[in-house]
Structure 1
Amino acid sequence: MTQTDATEDLLGLFGGLPRPVISHPRRTSVEIHDHLRWLILDGLLPPGTELKQAELARVFDVSRTPLREAFRMLQEEGLIDADINHRGRVTGLDVADLDCLYAARISLEAMGVRVTAGRLTRQEVQEASAHLHDMDRADETGDAAAWHEAHRAFHCVLVCRCTPTVLRTITSYAERSERYLRALQDRHPGVFPQRRQEHYDLFAAVMAGAPERAAQLITRHLARTARRVIDDIAPGREAPDVGQATVMVCGEDLSAASSGNWTPVAKGVHT
């Protein structure tokens, strides 16, 4: 394939898709990363799609330098595999990655809610309440993007007494796991009214200064999501890492536990 053919293929791929909007030259790599990340998470760039930095630079009308940085960030999130020839390929869902990722989240976020429980400021309580309200409103309108934004912000408040370094790690893992949440939503449109109550129960435990209850609630919340996604993409596969993490936090292996009543409702984006 010639360079012209490759570019024409990418133009065809991106022809019907939104192009990135660059607000400032210094933000080019970040905004290209955010744009490609959104296309991947929304399934507009499905697993196996090949992305070449040189052709993308021409399609997006930017230099290759911000493309290299955007590819690096996408690779760190596990969204693409990149090689030395500056090509990337959108990755598929990976059970081993999911298992390890959610085990790490359970360990860190259980610690995070423990150290945060009873220590929220009035402003932080108001912020968390606002995020819950935004999640409910986004659910009512079916706005998945807005729901995910409010969801990330809400979970961040629950662990906000962690040190900045740990908080950055927790945030990074949460962002990396978003593709699994979206896969869950795609397979179960409408999804799980009881998950909304889990968020309210978590918030109540953190506000009330109940660290042990908060840790158990966040553990069950995350383990349930991991188990359900694994059941969808690889039925029968074990989740040993999640199991070890739940034993450490709760003294009980929840990796094979029933995911509960997952009957979908008419609409919604809860996970």
Structure 2
Amino acid sequence: MSIGELLAGREGLRIEDPRQTSVSVHAYLRDLIISGAIPPGTQLKQAELARVLAVSRTPLREAFRMLQEEGLVSAEPNQRSVVLGLDAEALDSLYAARITLESLGARLTAGRMTREEVRSAAAAHKEMDRTYRAGDYASWTVAHRRFHRLLVGRSGAPVLRTISSYAEQSERYVRIDQLTNTQDFEARQREHQAIFDAVRHGDGKAAVVEMARHLSGSARRVVEAHAPGRGTPFVDAALDLLLCDCSDAASDSG
């Protein structure tokens, strides 16, 4: 199926600032790849995309470069790229980094959420439940992203930017997890609630444990579904490090 056929009927590219065309093109294509609208294996030809999106080749080349850096597409000869499928090692590495940093973010945020942030996180959690049951994955993704961001909101700008980048890169895997493990939704919602409770009540150690276990579970489920028996050594190492640190800290304080 051509890229034109894949994008037929979908909302078109919007460019608010012509000086940021490459950024807009990158964000547009990135969302389509992560959502699965442009599936793995799809060949992206710059000439065809330039025509379909009505943009010049220069910003398109820059958008392709950013997608390649994120591991979403491969670099091919003749100004072509291919949307990459699930790479178990890349997922393992990405989630190990995300687990480590987002658990830190949860600990730094524990006990520091404002009342408004607590209300917003509770509303996002409720919205996640509603949209998932309605089959509205796009809206679920927005609520899920907002929920996680609120729970690490006191991390400081540099850390928060990196956490956000890791979380966005993980979204394609989160979607795979949702689609292949539909029976686990209630359990995942309970995990979200446990993280939220730990952060808002100021229990930094519990926030680390709950966040690390939640994210590692997602990674392990996706890898096992697509590469049975491979395991997640990077994720396991990150989890061991964090849980060991929490246990040691608890022992020291006792």
TM-score band (shorter)?
Answer: 0.7 to 0.9
When the two structures are superposed, what TM-score results if normalisation uses the length of structure 1?
Answer: 0.83
Q: Find the partner of 2:130 among 134, 137, 152.
A: 137
Q: Find the partner of 2:66 among 73, 83, 86.
A: 73
Displacement, 1:61?
Answer: 1.3
Q: Find the partner of 2:198 among 187, 192, 205.
A: 205
Could you tell me how far apart the structure 1 residues matched to 2:3 and 2:195 are? 45
Q: Find the partner of 2:41 among 43, 48, 61.
A: 48
Q: Find the partner of 2:55 among 55, 58, 62.
A: 62
Structure 2: where are the runs of 5+ without partners?
246-254
Displacement over 6 Å in runs of 4+ = none
Partner SS state of residue 44, structure 2: strand
Displacement, 1:164?
Answer: 0.7
RMSD: 2.2
Task: Map 1:72-221; keep pairs closer than 5 Å.
Answer: 72-83=65-76, 85-189=78-182, 191-221=184-214
Structure 1: where are the runs of 5+ without partners?
1-7, 253-271
Does structure 1 conserve the Cα–Cα contact (< 8 Å) formed by 2:99 and 2:211? yes
Could you tell me how far apart the structure 2 residues matched to 1:166 and 1:10 are? 36
Higher mean alpha-carbon deviation, 56-65 vs 75-84, is at 75-84
Higher mean alpha-carbon deviation, 190-199 vs 175-184, is at 190-199
When the two structures are superposed, what TM-score results if normalisation uses the length of structure 2?
Answer: 0.88
If each structure's helix is expressed as a fraction of its own residues, which one has the higher value? 2
Displacement, 1:16?
Answer: 5.9
When residues 122 and 11 of structure 1 are mapped into structure 2, their CA distance, relative to the original with a 3 A threshold, is closer
The one-letter code sitting in structure 2 at the alignment partner of 1:168 is R
The one-letter code sitting in structure 1 at the alignment partner of 2:125 is L
Could you tell me how far apart the structure 2 residues matched to 1:109 and 1:71 are? 28
Which string of whole-angstrom CA distances, capped at 9 and with x for unpartnered residues, describes residues 126-177 of structure 1?
A: 2212211221221232110111111111111111111211111111001111
Could you tell me how far apart the structure 1 residues matched to 2:196 and 2:5 are? 46
When residues 10 and 244 of structure 1 are mapped into structure 2, their CA distance, relative to the original with a 3 A threshold, is closer
Q: How many residues are treated as equivalent by the alignment?
A: 245
Higher mean alpha-carbon deviation, 67-76 vs 223-232, is at 67-76
Partner SS state of residue 206, structure 1: helix
Could you tell me how far apart the structure 1 residues matched to 2:35 and 2:149 are? 23
Partner SS state of residue 48, structure 1: coil
The one-letter code sitting in structure 2 at the alignment partner of 1:110 is S
Could you tell me how far apart the structure 2 residues matched to 1:12 and 1:122 are? 47
When residues 137 and 99 of structure 1 are mapped into structure 2, their CA distance, relative to the original with a 3 A threshold, is same
Higher mean alpha-carbon deviation, 141-150 vs 60-69, is at 60-69
Displacement, 1:235?
Answer: 0.5
The one-letter code sitting in structure 2 at the alignment partner of 1:36 is L
Could you tell me how far apart the structure 2 residues matched to 1:15 and 1:144 are? 20
Displacement, 1:60?
Answer: 1.5
